Amino acid sequence: MQRVSLLVFLPLLACQVPQKPRAAVGADRPNFILIYADDLGYGDLGCFGSKKNRTPRLDRMADEGVRLTSFYSTSGVCTPSRSSLMTGCYPRRVNMHKDAKNGWVLFPNARKGLHPDEVTVAEVLKTRGYQTACIGKWHLGDQREFLPTRQGFDSYFGIPYSNDMNRKNIPLPLMRGEKVIEAPVVQPPLTRRYTEAAVRFITDNKDRPFFLYLPHTMVHLPLNPGVEYKGKSANGRYGDAVEELDWSTGEILDTLKALGIDQRTMVIFTSDNGSNGRNGGSNAPLRGRKGSTNEGGMREPCIMRWPGRIAAGKVCDEITSTMDVLPTFARLAGAELPKGRTLDGHDSWALWSGDASARSSYTAFYYYRIANLQAVRQGPWKLILSHKQRGRRGVAGKQVATRLIDLSKDIHEDVDLSAKHPDVVKRLMDLAKVARAELGDGNKAGRGQRPAGLVEKAVPLLLDK
């Protein structure tokens, strides 16, 4: 067991050792743009197999870059997945796997948020002189202490949580910086407004390194495509909203070319979790949907593009995840990793650049649903652990049996191979024990967990009068 522990967590513990900045790869402090769709399914883009949604700009982006086909979010829902993207850690490590009332995401006027002491990818890049902006949905705490402007972002424009969280006493707020400027926000123009703000930020910072985090509101319910796209697709409002995201991405790519900074800018497009499987969304050919630990809940469509640095037209099926954003961006920017804390992500530049000989750094990838460890993946093998299905508030449902899946041959998770490969089952069971000890499981805390932020009394975000 000790040998398994070292294999899994040795790279993580190395992150605690102060590191000298490494030279940036291929450019001095490249720009980073991270476009993050909300609830977009694995099969919702043309380049990932969609026959319903027209996504020509994203398809071209894939042709000019790399498609990652085993790219994971760490959760099937919004808040936990975003905590991993910002910190490079599993949600349980930073205690963002549930809200203060055991719900699976944060709601308006929540007492909880990402701890101010956590070091975000924006804060890492700030040490190298980057200008940083968050434009879109935050969902890591709506109290002043937890807003993007307190977590390394120079500016913020967007809504602080999901677009279905309009409350009678707290109308859905649109914020600029730390001030509510519209409530309730008018939703149909949001994608266009975010895109215009993104283009302005890129233009204003074309002569210095920047990090743009663009977490779109769409395609989360309620679906509100812009008037220019409403009714234009063959897939209802869902298709309208997807095609508007495609337009938005095209506007950003065109801006980079027009400004002459295309070849020193890395652009990533992905999603926070899978589609709910309704209203036109698709996770095909994967099983499951948003909220689950099936592949359809946590494996995301991902495209990366950087002309001259990322090989064009490549496909990578090695395991990588949103937790790799922080350590990989740090490497490329020549920044130090956060000191005195364990990270769960890895520097995945070799995979992202399209190096066919590169292999994943993940000895194991863990699938948590709220507080519960439900599966482990190592290479092609996924072990679904015996567990009770649970609702949003932890109410127990039917029992799920232990199953072993070979994802290289069975992407839909249909055939149980546990009886044929008891040695693989044992190996992955041992890895699950390591995760339970380090990160926790259910009501049992792990030794490596850190606290979330918590305020004594929450103050609602309301329009200033």
Long-range interactions of 229-237: CB distance < 8 A, separation 24+: 230/188, 233/52, 233/53, 233/54, 234/52, 234/54, 235/52, 235/53, 235/280, 236/279, 236/280, 237/279, 237/280
Q: Is 97 a catalytic residue?
A: no
* CB contact set of 93 (below 8 Å; sequence gap of 6+): 87, 342, 344, 439, 446, 448, 449, 450
3-state SS class at 13: helix
The DSSP secondary structure of 181-243, one letter per residue, reads EESS---TTHHHHHHHHHHHHHHHTTTS-EEEEEE--TTSSSP---TTTTT-SSSHHHHHHHH
**Active-site entry in 97, 115, 134, 139:** 139
Q: Is 47 a catalytic residue?
A: no
- Backbone dihedral angles phi then psi of residue 238, each to the nearest 5 degrees: -65, -50
**Active-site entry in 78, 89, 134, 302:** 78
Instruction: Quickly list H helices, 266-394.
Output: 295-298, 325-333, 349-352
Rounded Cα distance between 283 and 273, Å, is 10
**Catalytic positions, please?**
78, 139
